[in-house]
Amino acid sequence: MHYTFYPKGVCSTQIDLDVDDNGRVHNIAYTGGCNGNLKALSALAEGLTVAEVVNKLYGITCGFKGTSCSDQLARNLKATVKEA
């Protein structure tokens, strides 16, 4: 299933991704934000289960912000996808 998230409090403005029937995350694409870092994050999270992504990324902050692009991915997955 395809999901589109609109992160809050970070530089990126949109996160698109797919979750397959086995609960694995694929094709993560960010709009805006730190291009290289978000490409790396997307590559590292590719194929992980929703629960693995949430467990690894939830709570990570960026600078003085209380969240980050990776935290926003985890928070949106946890709130939206039942497997989390």
pLDDT digits (tens, 9 = 90+) for 27-64: 999 999 999 999 999 999 999 999 999 999 999 999 99
CB 79: neighbour CB atoms within 10 A?
10
- pTM, two decimals, is 0.93
Q: Is the pLDDT of residue 65 over 70?
A: yes
CA neighbor of 48 nearest in space, from 23, 71, 16, 17: 23
